[in-house]
Amino acid sequence: MNWQIIWNHFQKTNKKESRSLWTIRIKMIRQTKKIIMKRTLIKQTLLLAIKKSNWEIMEGIIGKKKAKEVRRSLGGENTYVPKEGEEDDIKARNDKIYEKFLSGKSIKELAREYSMTTKWIRNILKSYEQSRNEENDDNINRN
C-alpha cells in the first residue's frame, strides 16, 4: 500500500472522514501482522515436531544409549547424513577435484565447476594432503 496516497487523501478530504479511513488502515495492518505471527509460530511448531520425530527414529535405530552419545558428541551441530551409496559418489568427486588441482586448476575454477565454495574445496584438498602425509610417515617408519 502506498502511504503517500493515503496521506494525500487525508489532507484533501475532511479530517473526520479521513481519520476513520486512517484508523481502518491501521487496524488492517495490525491484523495482517497478527496473521503473519501466527503462521510463523505454526511453522516453528511443525519444525520442532519434525526434529523430535527424527530424534525418535534415530533412538529406535541405534538405541537410546547410543543416541545420547551422539547427542553429547555432536550436540548443537548441523550434521548431514548421506544417503546410501552417496558416499562413493562424494569420494569419486573429491578424487576428481584433487586430480584437477594437481594438474594445475585453481581453487576458484574448481569451486565454480563443482558449484562449491572455495573454503569447501580447500577442506577437500587439505584432507587429501593430510592422508598423503600420513601415508608417507607410515612408509618412513617401515624403512
Q: Which residue has the cell 594438474?
A: 103
How does the average pLDDT of the chain come out, rounded?
74
**Whether residue 117 has pLDDT greater than 60:** yes
d(CA 108, CA 76): 31
Grid look-up 519434525 returns 50
Indicate if 19 and 54 belong to the same structural domain.
yes
**Taking 80 as the threshold, does the pLDDT of residue 20 lie above it?**
no
- Let me know whether 100 and 70 are in one domain: no
Residues 67 and 55 sit within 8 Å (Cβ to Cβ): yes
Amino acid at 87: E
pLDDT at 137: 63
Helix (H, G, I), strand (E, B) or coil at 43: helix
Whether residues 17 and 50 share a domain: the answer is: yes
Cell of 22: 486512517
Residue 27 grid coordinates: 487496524
pLDDT for position 46: 53
pLDDT score for 73: 82
pLDDT exceeds 80 at position 45: no
Q: Could you tell me the residue range of the domain that residue 46 belongs to?
A: 5-9+12-74
Do 23 and 52 fall into the same domain?
yes
Confirm whether 63 is domain-assigned.
Answer: yes
Taking phi over 0 as left and psi of -120 to 50 as alpha, with beta for the rest, 82 belongs to beta
The answer, yes or no, to whether residue 65 has pLDDT greater than 80, is yes
State the total domains in the chain.
2
Shared-domain flag, residues 66 and 90: no
Residue 79 placed within a domain: no
Question: Model confidence over 79-116: pLDDT tens digits?
Answer: 777 777 777 888 899 999 999 999 999 999 999 999 99
Q: Measured between alpha carbons, how far is 48 from 29 in angstroms, rounded to an integer?
A: 29
Domain annotation covers residue 100: yes
Q: What is the pTM of this model?
A: 0.42
Cell of 143: 624403512
